[in-house]
Structure 1
Amino acid sequence: MALEPRIDVETRSEDFEASLTTEQITRIAEAFGQQGVWFATPQEQAGEARRPDEVWNLVGDQPHHGQTATGRAAVHLAEGHRALTRPLILADGFNYGPSDLDGLWRHFNKPYQQGVPGFLDQLRTMGIDVVLLGFEQRQAAIQANAAVAVTCVLRTIEERQGDDPLVVGGVSMGGLVTRYALARMEDESIDHQTDKYFSYDTPHLGAWIPLVLQQLAYIHEALSPRSDGPGQAELIRSPAAQQLLWGWVGSADYSGPVTTNPLRAEFVEDLRRLGWFPRRPYKLGLANGTGNGTGPDLPPGTPVFDLRHDALQLTARIQPDLGELENIGVLRVGAPAWTSATSYVAAFDGAPGGTLDSWGRLADAVGLPIEERFRSSCFVPSASAVAMNRNPFQWQSELYVDLSDLPKDETYLDAFCCDAANSEHGTVSRPLIEWFLEQLAGW
């Protein structure tokens, strides 16, 4: 029987904070430096965004726990089309606040090869209409935003001319939102008329943000609270983060299991009740990580940054590989010290997968030099993006598995493609786009 992954904190952060002088608190807050919501990804600003042919305001078809989510969709008709004919819905992913549909267009239409049109322009040339789906609160519960996706699917069917089936999916969390929406429609006998479902670096088994960085976000928020907006840990404490992350901590002081999150458990149970995946569509998956079992060069337990100035120490380490009470972080101004350690947590940071530059952003904010290889770590492991047939709470032993010869019954997808290198989460790469376009060519 596998031992339960957990985290243990020595000296509560409240006690640590109470021991500090005003000057010491200021020094630590300045050392952290970064303001705003931690881990939120900046919107894509480079390049031109095509003006949509139509924009829909959408309201979820049903509430979730009393919350009715809203969103918008930008419709980009294929060349020569005057109305939706062959629609592909691409849902936005995990982030804080409302979707930027212009930014989503710029991101996915960014040229990935000189002389080759962007991905979305290629779709339009192929006669495929692109519907970009966004959400007013991307950090809301997946079930709530899935209701917006249901409305978008129904609106697309209503507006479509002819009877060509839909292609529906999304990037990152958007793949989970649309997966849930289609499964729910099938469970409720609503005809979604979708022939293909796709997920683009979607954490089907869970995503990863280093536990020590989650804790430091809470500590910084307490030491440097904001009065003009959300705190640094707002994205981490959001419903979507709790549902997406394999390991999650709710405060800097929490000691206990890291995979027994009630919101995640509820979401997984809801998916199981709906059949886990939609049954009708042919299911495609794209992973920004490699499939050969090789991840980025991040030795477990290595200090990423180690700030020491007078009596101040701020240390954070790459996630160790299993072990018991393995240190991941220290924050000290004289004494007492806040320390954090994990037990039975695998080396997620260095796993093959789509990466996120969480370490680099924090190091830049602190003003410390950082080795280039340490800037980014795994965010969506490849094993998660290809939806391996595993328990979503107990699959860390598969992090470094070779997926190149994965048996058919080992994944819930009908076909998948891994990237040639461990690229940035959600990035548009030539191997993935060319494979995806081939899958759509006969549609």
Structure 2
Amino acid sequence: MAQEPRIDVETRASGIESSLTSEQVERIADALGQQGVWFAAPPEREGEARPADQIWDLVGDRPHHGQTATGRAAVHLAEGHDDLTRPLILADGFNYGPSDLDALWRQLNKPYQKGVPGFLDQLRTMGIDVVLLGFDQRHIAIQANAAVAVTAVLRAIEERRGDDPLVVGGASMGGIVTRYALARMENERVDHQTDKYFSFDSPHLGAWIPLVLQQLAYLHEALAPRSGGPGQAELIRSPAAQQLLWGWVESADYSGPVTTSSSLRKEFLEDLRRVGWFPMRPYKLGLANGTGNGTGPDLPPGTPVFDLQHEALQLTARIQPDGGELQNVGAVRFGAPVWTSATSHVRAFDGAPGGTLDSWGRLADAVGLPIQDRFRTSAFVPAVSAIALARDPFQWQSDLYLDLGDLPKDETFLDAFCCDATNTEHSSVSRPLIEWFLEQLAGW
């Protein structure tokens, strides 16, 4: 029987203020970085955003635990269309705060090949109306934002001229939000009139942010509390993060299991099973920014990424080790240890094939620490998660480096999927992925 993955803080930080001088506390806080929400992706600013033909203000069709979510959709009609005719709804992904639909257009329509129109422009040329779906609070519970997606689907059916079926999906968390929304509609016998569902590097089994970086975000908050705004760990502690992350820790001092530590993740997966796990009626497509050959980025397990030494202060953070017991992932020392952390039975997620995120690089830039280019990015959505490998979401880590080339059809919950040629940035457009997806839509 597999051992349960866990983390152990060997020297606790809870008494750090009393054990150190104020100067030492300030020095550690400065070393850990600036104020602001860590891991929140900045909006795409390069390129032009096409003005929307219509804007829909949306309210979730029901509350979740008393919270009714809201959002907006930007409707971009196809060339030659005066009305919504062939709607493709594409939901925004995980981040902190409200969606920026102009930035989402720029991100997804970014040129990936010289002389070839962007992805969204190609859809419009094919006669497909693009509906970009955003949320006013991307970090709240998935079930709450799924209610906004349900409203968007019903609005598209109401506004549509003719009876062409819908295509519905999303990038990153947006693919999970729409997966839940369509499954819930089927469970409640609401006709979503959707022919195809798609997910673009969505974490069907879970996403990964290095556990030590989660802890450092909490540690920084403890040393330098933020007033008048969100703290460094605000995105990590958000409901959506707890639901999406395979491994999650609640504080810098947390010791215990990392896969079952959040009741919100357990509740969400139970809700997903209750409504059917996946929608059954649509043909289900998946795009993965990771490779399918089992080869990930060159990130040797256990390698120190940060090894800062300044006078008596030492700060170390390591690439996730591969399994083992009490494998050191980070430490803060002032002569004697102040805080040390170790993981047990956690696989080497950072180097897994998958859509990448520059979590290490963002921290290095904020802190002003030197970092090798190869350490800036690590796996965020492993390829086996993006293609919805048929595994228990709490137990799937043994398959991180699986070769997906000859995967039997019953080994994935999707009907078809495509992996990228290299491990590319999470939810970024690339020629192999976009050409494959457009071929899937060609006969629609």
Task: Specify the TM-score bucket, using the shorter chain as the normaliser.
Answer: over 0.9
By how many angstroms is 1:335 displaced?
3.0
CA distance in 2 between partners of 1:196 and 1:13 (Å): 49
CA distance in 2 between partners of 1:32 and 1:343 (Å): 25
In the alignment, which residue of structure 1 is the partner of 2:385? 384
CA distance in 2 between partners of 1:336 and 1:117 (Å): 55
Counterpart secondary structure, 2:315 = strand
Matched, 1:198 2:189: no
5 Å-filtered alignment, 1:25-424, equals 25-260=25-260, 261-424=262-425
Counterpart secondary structure, 1:235 = helix
The TM-score with structure 1 as length reference comes to 0.99
Aligned residue type for 1:121: D
Q: Give CA deviations for 1:389-423 in whole Å, capped at 9, x if unaligned.
A: 00000010000000011000000000000000000
Alignment check: 8 A CA contact 2:331 2:337 kept: no
Counterpart secondary structure, 2:352 = coil
The TM-score with structure 2 as length reference comes to 0.99
Alignment check: 8 A CA contact 1:419 1:431 kept: yes
In the alignment, which residue of structure 1 is the partner of 2:6? 6
Q: Give CA deviations for 1:113-141 in whole Å, capped at 9, x if unaligned.
A: 11010000000000000000000000000
Counterpart secondary structure, 2:57 = strand
Identity of aligned residues (%): 82
5 Å-filtered alignment, 1:11-22, equals 11-22=11-22
By how many angstroms is 1:349 displaced?
0.4
Q: Give CA deviations for 1:1-35 in whole Å, capped at 9, x if unaligned.
A: 10000000022211223212111122112112232
Give the superposed CA RMSD.
Answer: 0.7
CA distance in 2 between partners of 1:390 and 1:31 (Å): 40
Gaps of 5+ in 1: none
CA distance in 2 between partners of 1:366 and 1:202 (Å): 29
Alignment check: 8 A CA contact 1:108 1:428 kept: yes
Alignment check: 8 A CA contact 1:34 1:362 kept: no
Gaps of 5+ in 2: none
CA distance in 2 between partners of 1:371 and 1:12 (Å): 29
Aligned residue type for 2:423: N
- Runs of 4+ with >4 A deviation: none
Counterpart secondary structure, 1:13 = coil
CA distance in 2 between partners of 1:336 and 1:324 (Å): 20
CA distance in 2 between partners of 1:65 and 1:21 (Å): 44
Counterpart secondary structure, 2:437 = helix
Counterpart secondary structure, 1:192 = coil
Q: Give CA deviations for 1:359-412 in whole Å, capped at 9, x if unaligned.
A: 111122222221111100000000000000000000100000000110000000
Alignment check: 8 A CA contact 2:12 2:338 kept: no
Q: Give CA deviations for 1:243-275 in whole Å, capped at 9, x if unaligned.
A: 000000000000000011211111111111111
By how many angstroms is 1:336 displaced?
4.2
Aligned residue type for 1:239: P
Q: Give CA deviations for 1:204-234 in whole Å, capped at 9, x if unaligned.
A: 0000000000000000111111112100000
In the alignment, which residue of structure 2 is the partner of 1:437? 438
Greater mean alpha carbon deviation, residues 227-236 or residues 361-370: 361-370
Q: Give CA deviations for 1:78-109 in whole Å, capped at 9, x if unaligned.
A: 00101100000000000000000000001011
Counterpart secondary structure, 2:374 = helix
Aligned residue type for 1:346: R
CA distance in 2 between partners of 1:333 and 1:365 (Å): 22
Counterpart secondary structure, 1:378 = strand
Equivalenced residues, count: 443
